[in-house]
Amino acid sequence: EIPTQFQSLQSLSTLNLSYNNLSGSITIFNELRGLVQVDIAHNELEGPVPDVPAFQNASIQALEGNKGLCGNVSGLKPCKLSKNGHHKLLYAIMLPLLGAAILSIAILALFFGFKKKGKDADEERESTKIDENLFAISSVDGRLLYAEIISATKNFNSQCCISKGEYGNVYRVELSSGDIVAVKKVLPLHADEVSTAKEFQNEVMALIDIQHGNIVKFYGFCCSAEQSFLVYKYLEKGSLAANLSNDETAKELDWDKRLNIINGVAYALSYLHHDCSPPIVHRDLTSDNVLLDLEFEAHISGFGMAKLLNPDSSNWTNHAGTYGYVAPELAYTMKVTEKCDVYSFGVLILEVIVGAHPGDLIATLPSSSLEMRLLVKDVLDQKPLPPSAYIQDKLVSLMKIAFMCLADNPHSRPTMCAVSQLLAS
């Protein structure tokens, strides 16, 4: 049976008990309001599905294999109501209506006669919203973590900002535990974008399960109408763009390190495209969104614009990406595919070789191996020490891969799996 201790796990956000041969009633989960993702498939559980959003919004695949389950969830049989159950249902319908009427009167009274109390009530609702929307790091309470981030950033004061981007600003936050995190405050949504907030939240939730050495560790997020931010592991060396543009760090970023960075990004993209289900397209791969740790190992970040490729949908989307990295087909179609990331990766390769955004070089396709070798020699970043003959051959091969990725026709571009294999050969 399910241990009764589960009732006390109020901060639990993900619950996976599938294929455990558990039995008994699942009413034990009724109080776990912090849950956002559940999977209890293929057990011997019974009873009505808990009135918790994670359960009510769960797919039938997460609940199937439990013959005794019932409830208002697609794919499950409805629960049979006893006479008392009918009374409870009547109460369940009438009480919210009565409560809504009372609440309306109270709101009017508060608005016209008690503005200060109304403000206090708003603050209390905001605190509740924070608890519901913020995923805690480890076992830290969501409200405490929120308060700590607000305090450390002085309520996201510009003086505490370490970098700025089109979709949000990043802050370095040292927690009381000693952990250092990067907090990206997402810029407010425009009025016509509010409807996409739920989609954004769902996509971010999917990123919680990503485990890859070349993808920045994602801890959690706060998503509310007032402000939204994401919490990531802090990486000490900052962005690839910052390191390439600084003369001192660019010298330290020798050709071995640069080749390793390209390999790391390729492996991460291959993982997102081919090992995640559904596949994930980053949509905003740039040198600003590649972060480096103390060993100059690459970690892809900036997943705020990531798109899950649903095989049952058209995968059309609003425009996203950074000028100079966006695939050309997105000028006339909004259909997102993995090949959009492949194009951006081609730009990134040239940027690592040149030491800056390649600009018009993207349109320069050498017609022979000799021209390719001469081009590498002409555009090579002069800040690090010159590459050895062996590394120079590697860079020529890398340039060839870059131009394959930059093909105008997305169908002519290689997959990231194929690119990873080419880089490993």
For the stretch 12-36, pLDDT in tens is 777 888 877 788 888 888 878 778 8
Confidence (pLDDT) at 383:
95
**Minimal CA–CA distance to 165: which of 58, 283, 289, 257?**
289
- Residues in a beta bridge with 299: 291
**Minimal CA–CA distance to 187: which of 173, 174, 197?**
197
Residue limits of CATH 1.10.510.10 in the chain: 238-424
Whether 11 has a pLDDT exceeding 60, the answer reads yes
The mean-pLDDT minimum among 41-45, 124-128, 263-267, 298-302 falls in: 124-128
pLDDT tens digits, residue range 120-173?
Answer: 544 444 444 444 444 434 445 566 777 888 888 888 888 888 888 766 788 998
Whether 185 has a pLDDT exceeding 70, the answer reads yes
Whether 248 has a pLDDT exceeding 90, the answer reads yes
For residues 65 and 41, is the Cβ–Cβ distance under 8 A? yes
**Minimal CA–CA distance to 226: which of 339, 104, 354, 134?**
134
pLDDT tens digits, residue range 210-234?
Answer: 889 999 988 877 766 667 788 888 9
Confidence (pLDDT) at 75:
77
Residue limits of CATH 3.80.10.10 in the chain: 4-70
**Minimal CA–CA distance to 304: which of 173, 211, 216, 179?**
216
pLDDT-based confidence at 87, cuts 50/70/90?
A: low
> Which superfamily does 135-233 belong to?
Phosphorylase Kinase; domain 1 (3.30.200.20)
CA separation for the pair 326, 285 (Å, rounded): 9
Q: Say whether 284 is catalytic.
A: yes
For residues 362 and 347, is the Cβ–Cβ distance under 8 A? yes
Catalytic residue among 284, 288, 341, 381: 284
- Residues in a beta bridge with 281: 307
CATH for 238-424?
Answer: 1.10.510.10
The class level of CATH for 4-70 reads alpha beta
Residue limits of CATH 3.30.200.20 in the chain: 135-233
Structure tokens belonging to residue 423: 């880089």
**Between the CA of residue 339 and those of 42, 103, 326, 407, what are the distances in Å?**
37, 52, 11, 10
